[in-house]
Every structure is written in structure tokens, then in C-alpha cells.
Amino acid sequence: MCPQTERLERLITEESGECCATDVAERLDSLRSYRPETPAGPDADLTALRTLGNDTRYTIVRLLTAAGRELCVCEINPVVDVSDSAISHALSDLHDAGLVTRRKDGTWRYYETTDRAAAILTALDETRRTDR
């Protein structure tokens, strides 16, 4: 038996006074059942979190959200302090992650936040400064 389940066995013994092999197996099954079978949801979540967890991209999404309307790339450029190229890359990543939508109008490109991005920002806003 691997050392990790030995530790778990000792924990269960402390908890309930006794512990047989079945108890360990049951606890392990119970814990493992919390892990998702298919990683599709988690993968999408991780992409969203990683994408939003970058200063430039986060700032752009905050800007779009605060504006409350779609913004043209040329409205974002003068406000965010990186190159046009970096902003284009950022918008592209955000779009791939499902956090903004894109609309073309001639040579202009307009971007707007999705509900998903808004929901994440709301969750953050409502729980800031809470240490519990």
C-alpha cells in the first residue's frame, strides 16, 4: 500500500477509533467521485481564468465592462499602455476564451464583454476584502 493511503488510514483511525481496508477504499472512492470524468468543463474554466488573470487582458475587460457598450480597438489603444499588437493579441485571446465578442464594421473592429466575463468580474467584486 502506498504511503499516501497509509496516512489516510491513520486519519480515519483517529476520526472513528477504528479503520479497516474497506473504510479506506470507501473514503478514497468518495473523494475521487468529486473529480470530473470529462475535462471539458474544467478546461474551459482554466482557459477563462488564465486568460483573465493577466494585467493587460483584465484591464481591457474592465474597460469594456465599465463602458457598458462595445468599444472599437482604436478606443482601447490610447488607454491601455502596451503596443497595438499586444492589445490585438490580448483581444484575440479573450475572444478565444469566450470572454468578449467581436463585430466587424469596415476596417473597424468592435469588442464587447460576454456574460461569462461579466459574471466572473461580479463574483470578484462581491467577494473582495472578505477573508472568509
Partner DNA sequence: TGACTATTTGAACAGTCTTTCATATAGTGT
Partner DNA sequence: ACACTATATGAAAGACTGTTCAAATAGTCA
Determine the Cα–Cα distance for residues 100 and 40; give it in Å rounded to an integer. Answer: 20
The whole-angstrom distance between residue 12's C-alpha and the CA centroid of its chain comes to 34
Residue 85 binds which entry of a copy of itself, DNA, none, CB below 5-8 Å type-dependent: DNA
| Max intra-chain CA distance, the chain | 73
Would you state the cell numbers that stand for residue 31, as one nine-digit string? 473523494
The whole-angstrom distance between residue 24's C-alpha and the CA centroid of its chain comes to 33
Determine the Cα–Cα distance for residues 103 and 54; give it in Å rounded to an integer. Answer: 23
Q: Which of 56, 63, 101, 112 binds DNA (CB under 7 A)?
A: 56
**How near is the Cβ of 91 to a copy of itself at its closest, in Å?**
15
**How near is the Cβ of 22 to a copy of itself at its closest, in Å?**
16
Three-class DSSP category at 33:
coil
- Where on the chain is the footprint of a copy of itself (CB under 8 A)? 2, 4-5, 7-8, 10-11, 27-28, 31-32, 34-36, 41-42, 44-46, 48-55, 58-59, 62-63, 66-67, 71-72, 74-79, 84, 98, 101, 108, 114-116, 119-124, 126-128, 130-132
- Where on the chain is the footprint of DNA (CB under 7 A)? 3, 6-7, 10, 50, 53-56, 72-74, 77, 82-93, 102, 104, 106-109
